[in-house]
Amino acid sequence: MHLNNIKFVYGKPVLIAKSYKRSYMVIGDLHIGYESKLLKKGIHIYNNTDIMASSILKMSDDYGIRRLVLLGDVKDSIMHPSKYELESLKRFFDLLSPLDLTVVNGNHDSFLSEIIGIDTLDEFLVGDFAFLHGNRFPSLKAMSKKIIITAHNHIAVEIKEGEKNFYKEKAWLISGINKSTAKKFYSTFSANKLIVMPAFNPFIIGSAVNFVSNNDKRNINPLFSNDIFSYDKSYVYSLNGIKLGTVGQLIAKNNVN
């Protein structure tokens, strides 16, 4: 897949956006502290915070990019974090201190700014891009940008292997705007593409888009649930860049099978 001034990092839920000769590495949905939920199920995960931070720092070195944009749901708890999560958050941001960070608020990020000592934003607007978490409507200024980039939905696809075997993997979603519908919500807009990112946390795969019914749309990005961007016509790509088809095509194929 190819979009001007955007590089999708091969095999990773990470993109690089270029604007005014500056490059930004973008990730979303870290859900730091998620391991505590797995622990209650008897699943022990160690050092996930360090693993995620090390992966980010390595990519920063590999691509020579020091600017990092976190697209919300940095922490897993919706309100006050547990002691374990609080310590994990502080360690994560200490490890990433060499980078220039921009943190966008997600619906899980109450009190995050106070915890990490960094001012957070509801939207980050630069060049042709509007970066936001995806749980709320973009502002008019955000819609004046050409490309909206969000997280929030933990994009994944379920793939059939053989007669009875299925597996889920993370995926990208790229959608075009419905101009007639957008005009009902925005007096002016330049946005024509919406990119929805998969979750960066390796233990969060997400909900398979080819099993989402119309009744579920109220729980996803309001740009989709209000048909400003067409969910069913959105193209799904694997992390290694394979175009899998539209959401509608994948749902239809699943129903046939």
**Strand 6-8's sheet: what is its strand order?**
6-8, 15-19, 22-27, 67-70, 100-103
Answer left, alpha or beta for residue 36, where phi above 0 means left and psi between -120 and 50 means alpha. Answer: alpha
CATH code assigned at 127: 3.60.21
Q: Which domain holds residue 187?
A: 6-256
The Cα 201–Cα 176 span in angstroms is 27
pLDDT of residue 90: 93
Task: Give the whole-angstrom CA distance, residue 185 versus residue 206.
Answer: 29
Q: In this prediction, what percent of the chain has a pLDDT beyond 90?
A: 66
Task: Please tell me the predicted confidence (pLDDT) of residue 37.
Answer: 62
Q: What span, in angstroms and rounded, lies between the C-alpha atoms of 35 and 211? A: 26
If one counts the domains in the chain, the total is 1
User: Cα 157–158–163 angle (5° rounding)?
Assistant: 155
Higher pLDDT pick, 201 / 81:
201
Residue 160: its pLDDT value, please?
74
Q: Give the chain's length.
A: 257
Mean pLDDT of 96-117: 91
Q: Which two three-digit tokens encode residue 87? A: 């310590």
Residue-wise pLDDT tens digits, 148-160: 999 999 999 988 7
Q: How far is Cα 246 from Cα 31, in angstroms, rounded to an integer? A: 28
Number of H helices, E strands in the chain: 8, 14
Report the alpha-carbon distance of residue 78 to residue 111 in Å, rounded: 9
* 206-256 pLDDT per residue, tens: 888 887 554 455 457 899 999 999 999 999 999 999 999 999 999 888 766
Give yes or no for a contact between 73 and 29, defined as CB atoms under 8 angstroms apart: yes
- The C-alpha atoms of residue 219 and residue 190 are separated, in whole angstroms, by 25
- What number is the average pLDDT over the span 188-200? 97
Q: How far is CA 106 from CA 141, 150, 220, 229, 230, in A?
A: 19, 10, 13, 20, 23
- Vertex 117, ends 195 and 98: CA angle to 5°? 70
Task: Confirm whether 36 is domain-assigned.
Answer: yes
In a domain, 205, yes or no: yes
Identify any residues that bridge with 121 across adjacent strands, giving them in sequence order: 104
* Per-position b or e across 213-227, b if 16+ CB within 10 A of its CB: eeeebeebbebbebb
- Cα 111 from chain centre: 20
- Average pLDDT for 87-99: 94
Q: Residue 1: inside a domain, yes or no?
A: no
